[in-house]
Structure 1
Amino acid sequence: MKNIAVIGAGTMGNGIAHTFAQSGYNVQLIDISQDSLDKGLATITKNLDRMIAKERITELDKQSTLDNISSFTDITQGVKNASLVVEAATENVDLKLKIFKQLDEICDAQTILATNTSSISITQIAAVTSRPGKVIGMHFMNPVPIMKLVEIIRGYDTSDDVTTTIMELSKKLGKIPTEVNDYPGFVANRILMPMINESIETLYNGVAGVSEIDTVMKLGMAHPMGPLQLADFIGLDVCLSILNVMYDGFKNPKYAPCPLLVNMVRAGKLGVKSGEGFYDYSESRKAEKVAKQFIK
């Protein structure tokens, strides 16, 4: 397995491409937008420069990594000769099903199809293909080049051979793969998202402010980042999407998104990616500037 195709040049996609390329794999990075590809490659270059500054890699390592990446706006050309395709598109079930139907038609019959979904059923995704045994979840953590964990999610029909192959491949990337079963949110988000949602409820109910909530969790629970700041980095739209998937899957009100989260997403306050979320990333990063206007 030497040629890896990655679909989506956004935060997760470019991080996955970076990680494979730095480990010596030929990466075919695919996005329908040339602008997104350019931004993704610029992000990879910037992150490699940071690693050079921290003396983790050399200039030669950086160039070798970049040389391992080629970009495509045509998915058919992009997946050509790929042994593994990793889909890292937006967390939208209809979009992912559409992509996997297309991949099943254009990829070689032996190609493994993986999704970086953080909540959507692998079994549901696999069902739209003629190769459910070769469909698997590879849920990388953000930032991908740094975070060690990869959740490996087996669908109902995912074969033992494919699971073993992907577990071993993850280890070759310097990651620690952990196998989990296919239930909404898997393990990481089934635990994380209710905590983030409860943190937003705590803010919504006026118990404490943004910085106070994050400080309690950082200093009291030894979390490296507070849950509201983490939500900003994940993307509030992504948090909302995951909670909706879990709520629909479990039919349990404990997964119902907080009204504050819903309103902020409707207003386009998505966190770091939009410049505003629970914190202000566009100016001086003043806590609560944005969130307060949605609390009634």
Structure 2
Amino acid sequence: MKNIAVIGAGTMGNGIAHVFAQNGFKVNLIDINKDALEKGIQTITKNLERMVVKDKITNADKKTTLNNISSYTSIKEGVVNTELVVEAATENLDLKLKIFKMLDETCAASTILATNTSSISITQIAAVTSRPKQVIGMHFMNPVPIMTLVEIIRGYNTSDAVTNTIMKLSTTLGKTPVEVHDYPGFVANRILMPMLNESIETLYNGVAGVSEIDTVMKLGMAHPMGPLQLADFIGLDVCLSILNVMYDGFKNPKYAPCPLLVNMVNAGKLGLKSGEGFYDYSETRKAERVSKQFLK
């Protein structure tokens, strides 16, 4: 397997493309938004330059990695002759179902279709294709070039052969794959999101302020980043989406999103990407400082 397509040039998509390309794969990075595609390539370039400065790779490695990436604004053109497609589009069920229907119609019969979804059912996504045995979840962690975990989620019909192939492939990327079953939130977000939600509830109930809550968790629990800061970094809209998926899937009130989170998302306060969440990132230097702190 050498030819990969990644759909979505956002934070997760460009990170996934970066990792595959750096490990010798030919990658077609696809995004229907040309500006997003250009921004994704710029992000990969900057991350590679940072690695060169830190002596983790050479300039030749950087050049080779960038040469391994081709960009496309058409899904149908970008997935031709690929052996694996990793979808990393917005965490929206209808959008993902639409993309997977198109992939099923366009890709070769042998192509494995993977999704980087952080919570949506692999089984449900696979059901809109004629190849459910070849549909699997590859949930990379953010930032992808640095974080080593990949949750490998097998749907109800995912075959052993495809699961084994993706497990081995993840290892060749320098990642640690962990196989999990297809239930809302999988493992990572089933545990993480209720913690973030409870942190927001703690703020909502006036138990403590933002910095106080984060300081307690950083110093008392040895977390590298406080939960409210982490929620900002993930994106409050993404957190809300995942919590809604788990609440709908389990029908358990413990997964119901805090009203404060709902209101903040409705107000457009999405965290780092919007310039304001639980913290103020209105100044570019502030946003960069938070990102660098997490990337150390």
What residue in structure 1 maps to residue 292 of structure 2?
none
Residues 120-166 of structure 1 deviation map (CA, whole Å, 9 limit, x = unaligned): 00000000000000000000000000000000000000000000000
Residues 70-124 of structure 1 deviation map (CA, whole Å, 9 limit, x = unaligned): 0000111100110000000000001000100110000000000000000000000
Mapping 1:104-119, distance limit 5 Å: 104-119=104-119
- Cα distance in 2 between the residues matched to 1:113 and 1:44: 23
The CA deviation at 1:280 is 1.0
- Cα distance in 1 between the residues matched to 2:59 and 2:210: 40
- Cα distance in 2 between the residues matched to 1:269 and 1:52: 35
- Cα distance in 1 between the residues matched to 2:3 and 2:162: 16
Could you tell me the TM-score, scaled by structure 2's length? 0.95
Mapping 1:1-296, distance limit 5 Å: 1-283=1-283, 285=286
Q: Structure 1: which amino acid aligns with 2:52?
A: I
On the 8 A contact 1:270/1:276 being kept in 2, the answer is yes
- Cα distance in 2 between the residues matched to 1:150 and 1:68: 22
The CA deviation at 1:285 is 4.5
Q: Structure 2: which amino acid aligns with 1:239?
A: C
On the 8 A contact 1:133/1:159 being kept in 2, the answer is yes
How many residues are matched?
286
The CA deviation at 1:225 is 0.8
Q: Structure 1: which amino acid aligns with 2:244?
A: N
User: For 2:185, what is the secondary structure of its paired residue?
Assistant: coil
- Cα distance in 2 between the residues matched to 1:281 and 1:63: 33
User: For 1:76, what is the secondary structure of its paired residue?
Assistant: helix
The root-mean-square deviation of aligned C-alpha atoms, in Å, is: 0.9
User: For 1:19, what is the secondary structure of its paired residue?
Assistant: helix
- Cα distance in 2 between the residues matched to 1:272 and 1:58: 31
Unaligned runs of 5+ in 2: 288-296
The CA deviation at 1:211 is 0.8
On the 8 A contact 1:31/1:72 being kept in 2, the answer is yes
The runs of 4+ residues in structure 1 deviating greater than 2 Å are 283-286
- Cα distance in 1 between the residues matched to 2:10 and 2:56: 24
- Cα distance in 1 between the residues matched to 2:273 and 2:46: 17
Residues 39-81 of structure 1 deviation map (CA, whole Å, 9 limit, x = unaligned): 0000001111111111111111111110000000011110011
Unaligned runs of 5+ in 1: 287-296
Q: Structure 1: which amino acid aligns with 2:198?
A: E
What residue in structure 2 maps to residue 289 of structure 1?
none
User: For 1:224, what is the secondary structure of its paired residue?
Assistant: coil
- Cα distance in 1 between the residues matched to 2:278 and 2:286: 10
- Cα distance in 1 between the residues matched to 2:139 and 2:286: 30
- Cα distance in 1 between the residues matched to 2:286 and 2:118: 28
User: For 1:137, what is the secondary structure of its paired residue?
Assistant: strand
Residues 15-43 of structure 1 deviation map (CA, whole Å, 9 limit, x = unaligned): 00000000010000000011000000000
- Cα distance in 2 between the residues matched to 1:256 and 1:232: 19
User: For 1:105, what is the secondary structure of its paired residue?
Assistant: helix
Q: Structure 2: which amino acid aligns with 1:124?
A: Q
- Cα distance in 2 between the residues matched to 1:281 and 1:21: 31
Residues 193-224 of structure 1 deviation map (CA, whole Å, 9 limit, x = unaligned): 00000000001111111111111111101111
What residue in structure 2 maps to residue 292 of structure 1?
none
On the 8 A contact 1:279/1:285 being kept in 2, the answer is no
On the 8 A contact 1:6/1:87 being kept in 2, the answer is yes
- Cα distance in 1 between the residues matched to 2:211 and 2:52: 32
